[in-house]
Amino acid sequence: MFDTKFVIVVREDLAVWQKLNVTAFLSTGVAAAKPELIGEAYRDAAGNSYHSMSVQPIIILSADTNLMKKVHQRALQRDVASSLYIEEMFTTGHDRANREIFGTFSPENAAVVGIAFHADKKVADKITKGARMHA
């Protein structure tokens, strides 16, 4: 049905609250960069209106620390724009502090805990090779 994938990969050893937090943050980054992924508002039978959501499924995968680094590198090598969350961002309390700490790391030394992107299916599969469906 879709020739693209909206993918989020989270590091498997995170606490549940961290996985949920990272997933939520990363999905907003992709949605902000790709407004065409967002559909129309929802309306229930009583006429109440609800926010629009993604028009396609979001695939949530998990990976260990080493595979997270590989996924990050593969996305960079293929010039696939992504949202990235690093471990140190858990120590901050707001967006400006997140940006400050994020800016002190490079791809070589970033402790990646989550990455999200939207790409062609084949490209997405190559980037996420080895990651598995989150359980």
CA-CA distance, 4 to 33, in Å (whole number)?
Answer: 15
**Unique residue bearing structure tokens 């996420």:** 128
Exposure of 2 in the CB half-sphere (CA atoms within 13 A): 16
- pLDDT at residue 135 in the model: 81
Please, are residues 101 and 91 in contact by the beta-carbon 8 Å criterion?
A: yes
Angle at 70 between CA 3 and CA 28, to 5 degrees: 55
Q: Which spans in the chain are helix H?
A: 16-33, 65-77, 95-102, 121-127
Map out the domains of the chain with their CATH numbers.
4-133 (3.40.1490.10)
Please, are residues 11 and 112 in contact by the beta-carbon 8 Å criterion?
A: yes
Please, are residues 80 and 127 in contact by the beta-carbon 8 Å criterion?
A: yes
- Return the closest-CA partner of residue 118 out of 25, 43, 41, 8: 8
**Unique residue bearing structure tokens 């990976």:** 63
- pLDDT at residue 1 in the model: 83
Beta bridge partners of 64: none
* Helix (DSSP H) and strand (DSSP E) numbers for the chain: 4, 7
Residue-by-residue pLDDT tens, the chain, 135 positions: 899 999 999 999 999 999 999 999 999 999 999 999 999 999 999 999 999 999 999 999 999 999 999 999 999 999 999 999 999 999 998 999 999 999 999 999 999 999 999 999 999 999 999 999 998
